[in-house]
Structure 1
Amino acid sequence: MTATAPVSAAGSRDLPHPAREEIRLEDVLHALSEPMRLGIVRELAAGAGELSCSDFELPVTKSTTTHHFRVLREAGLIWQLYRGTAKMNGLRGDDLEELFPGLLDSVLTAADRQAARRGQE
């Protein structure tokens, strides 16, 4: 888990996360290339903190939703940890900014502009 992720309680179910130095640009870009995953990242970036998986209204099955969150976590875009029965998600903005300055902001700005053009905002 990265230093920017919250510390989970003892005995909780820990999920594997890449360390900051293991995050690769190709993995980040691949994860962001899928519209649903990009939407999850946009929602996390717009919020003020962490959201549970159930806070996202995705038009796919639970297993597909789990897949999308796993891809984002394994790429290093988000951290996930369990709080009770809820799986909480947060953006690894500090890690991404340190590794790839301006990348996430640029992608999110472009995604917002695209959504506005398509009337999805």
Structure 2
Amino acid sequence: MTRAPRTSTAKPIPDLAGVFDVLSDETRLAIVQLLLDGELRTAGQIADLVSMPTSTCSYHLSKLLSSGITVCRVEGTRRFPVLRRSELENEFPGLLELIRIAPLPVSRGH
């Protein structure tokens, strides 16, 4: 029997200073920029796309999750970080568009 996908309980959306604190790291900013397209990707897939080890990417994904910027969608044994797009847009109109168009360095190998 196939289980329906589950999503982790969302933490409260941080205040603007908290959002800026979490997104002040260019790696996390790049991850959020990638998540804006809404595609489900594992930590390993995201790590490949942002050119970093999976363990480093997982660290940054956990920061995004614990801050309330993302939630975790679970499908079987796979976990997918999902941006809380509508909540962030409601709380901070225009922020995600600024992130979407922000130029970021091509290589982030941390």
Same fold per TM (> 0.5)?
yes
- Residue matched to 2:57: 65
2:30 pairs with one of 39, 54, 67: 39
The alignment of Structure 1 onto Structure 2 pairs a total of residues equal to: 101
Instruction: Extract unaligned runs of 5+ from structure 2.
Output: none
> Which whole-Å CA distance do the structure 1 matches of 2:97 and 2:75 have between them?
28
Is contact 2:74-2:80 (8 Å) kept?
yes
Is contact 1:24-1:75 (8 Å) kept?
no
Identity %: 26
Q: Would you say 1:55 and 2:45 are equivalent positions?
A: yes
Is contact 1:16-1:74 (8 Å) kept?
no
Return the offset for 1:15: 4.4
> Which whole-Å CA distance do the structure 2 matches of 1:68 and 1:74 have between them?
10
Instruction: Extract unaligned runs of 5+ from structure 1.
Output: 1-5, 9-13
SS at match of 1:49: coil
Is contact 2:69-2:83 (8 Å) kept?
yes
2:93 pairs with one of 66, 79, 101: 101
> Which whole-Å CA distance do the structure 2 matches of 1:18 and 1:74 have between them?
7
Change over 3 Å in CA distance of 1:7–1:24 after alignment to 2 = farther
RMSD: 2.5
Is contact 2:73-2:82 (8 Å) kept?
no
Give the TM-score taking structure 1 as reference length: 0.68
Letter in 2 for 1:95: E
Higher RCO structure, 1 or 2 (CA under 8 Å, sep 6+): 2
> Which whole-Å CA distance do the structure 1 matches of 2:93 and 2:19 have between them?
13
> Which whole-Å CA distance do the structure 1 matches of 2:5 and 2:90 have between them?
20
> Which whole-Å CA distance do the structure 2 matches of 1:61 and 1:104 have between them?
25
